[in-house]
Amino acid sequence: MTESNFQAGVETNIFICPKTHKGEIHKQYVDQVEVLIEPVDQVASLTINEEFSGTLRVKFVPKVPGAYNITAKINGEKLANSPLKIQVKERHRIQQFTGNRVKIFGQKGTGEAEFKKPTSICMDDQGHFVVAEFSNNRVQVLTKDGTPVSKFGDSGPGKLDEPQGCVFHKDMFIVSDYGSKCLKLFDSSGTFLRKIGEEGEADGQFKDPWGLCIDGHGNILECDYETGVLQQFSIEGRFTGKSVAKLQTPRGIAVMPDGRFLVSDDEEHEVFILK
């Protein structure tokens, strides 16, 4: 078995040459291969594939840093150098920045590519940054280099009043508008389409609409900061459900690959996982 540099959360490849302790090469072995990686509960996505010249490639994802033991058997017999001990390190390609910036664009102001209290950011289907500005009462669309593309919500029938969150879905921008106590929908050019909801505490109403996301079925999920409730709407604007448990001050929401939701709670200083 051969090894290389291993990092937590990153797919790892181990190559196994099917030799016994006596140096003999197994001929028929693909269906009789066993690979055990311990600790078992810290391993994800384990697969075994035959490569060139009969070599086997073992792929897996170590979840956390630490020591792992890899035992390989063919026809019940351990291979040479088995078990193999590897050391998984912290993932070094993820960087944390505190005050240091890799790239920055924009400055405080009211002009193009200037911001006042940017509260939310997402990306559209063109790879543009979409920034909701609480104090400038608008949404700006910019390239990844910070070049202005367009802006909307600062005038007209869909005029925004202290927008909090913004998501892009199927050629539409969906904005949670604190001052108007509703969600506002705009097309991809920024033209106002319609609103969802009104002020209140009943189902389908809002006190402080904040974080937004779209689930895998095209439903809109919204955090109401003051009432502590998550609400669900169809893309047409129909109220279709809400959270059973009441949170203190839900602010941000994101969808996990398995369909559950991550919700950040301001006062609780915690992130909750909800179904």
Average pLDDT of the chain is 86
Domains and CATH numbers, the chain: 6-89 (2.60.40.10), 107-274 (2.120.10.30)
Angle at 55 between CA 60 and CA 80, to 5 degrees: 85
Which of 9-18, 102-111, 184-193, 259-268 has the highest mean predicted lDDT (pLDDT)? 184-193
pLDDT in tens, 28-65: 554 578 889 999 988 888 888 876 666 788 889 888 88
Residue 131, pLDDT above cutoff 90: yes
Instruction: Indicate the pLDDT class of residue 27, thresholds 50, 70 and 90.
Output: low
Instruction: Indicate the pLDDT class of residue 25, thresholds 50, 70 and 90.
Output: low
Instruction: Report pTM.
Output: 0.64
pLDDT in tens, 155-212: 999 999 999 999 999 999 999 999 999 999 999 999 999 999 999 999 999 999 999 9
Please say whether the beta carbons of 156 and 145 come within 8 A. no
Helix, strand, coil shares of the chain, percent, nearest 5, are: 5, 50, 50
Q: How much is the pLDDT for 112?
A: 92
Torsion angles phi and psi, residue 93, rounded to 5: -90, -10
pLDDT in tens, 214-230: 998 899 999 999 999 99
Please say whether the beta carbons of 70 and 46 come within 8 A. no
* DSSP for residue 156: S
